[in-house]
A and B are shown apart, each in its own frame.
Chain A
Amino acid sequence: DAKTTQPNSMESNEEEPVHLPCNHSTISGTDYIHWYRQLPSQGPEYVIHGLTSNVNNRMASLAIAEDRKSSTLILHRATLRDAAVYYCILSSSGGGADGLTFGKGTHLIIQP
């Protein structure tokens, strides 16, 4: 399975935009890029996903590089509630077990 690389942690200030990077240089053409986050003591929460084009929803934006070897999750205006571990995950239609393969993610710290 294609793997992702994320920074262990990032810090940002409240009310500022946050750009969370993810590298996936071995991504295949059928891999979707998913982002989930996990708040303390909770189950993971879906944030956004995409295949090739940039995507927007009420929570965030996903910017996908033209060669698809990297992507960036954008939180437009961080709040203290956005402090969580963010996971960048690839899911493939090319076979193998279903389900998501979680790495260690990026621990996002929001300073007031």
Chain B
Amino acid sequence: DAGITQSPRHKVTETGTPVTLRCHQTENHRYMYWYRQDPGHGLRLIHYSYGVKDTDKGEVSDGYSVSRSKTEDFLLTLESATSSQTSVYFCAISGGRFDEQYFGPGTRLTVT
């Protein structure tokens, strides 16, 4: 299995509070991604990174920010969590732009 972990695995937070999810990889892959998955939807891309300090927006980036200060870590921040951000968040890594992606185990976030 690809060395990719997510923390925390579960989190319950209140509306309006900031939340940071962490994705950590040990594969030295260049590309990292954050997706969210909601019932009735496939995974949707939030943000991605193509190198240290190089990030770009995905399909559903509003309300989210990301940072990548090291190759191995990609952080997803909800500045002020809302109930609509209750979801399962998956991180993925890839060695190349069109290479296969390896997914982490997911973080279940509940915003009350």
Q: Do A and B come from one complex?
A: yes
Q: How far is the CA of A98 from the CA of B40 in the complex (A)?
A: 23
Interface centre among A32, A34, A44, A104 (most CB of B within 10 A): A44
Decide yes or no: A97 and B42 within 8 Å by CB, A34-B100, A45-B103, A46-B100 being known contacts: no
Q: Is A99 an interface residue (CB 8 A)?
A: yes
Q: How far is the CA of A49 from the CA of B85 in the complex (A)?
A: 31
Q: Which of A46, A101, A104, A105 contacts B101 (CB 8 A)?
A: A46
Q: Which residues of B contact A98 (CB under 8 A)?
A: 31, 33, 48, 50, 56, 97
Which 9 residue pairs across A and B have the least CB separation, nearest first? A102-B42, A43-B103, A99-B45, A46-B100, A102-B43, A44-B103, A43-B90, A99-B48, A103-B42
Sample of 8 more A-B contacts, CB < 8 Å, known A44-B43, A44-B92: A36-B101, A43-B105, A43-B106, A49-B100, A99-B33, A102-B35, A104-B40, A104-B41
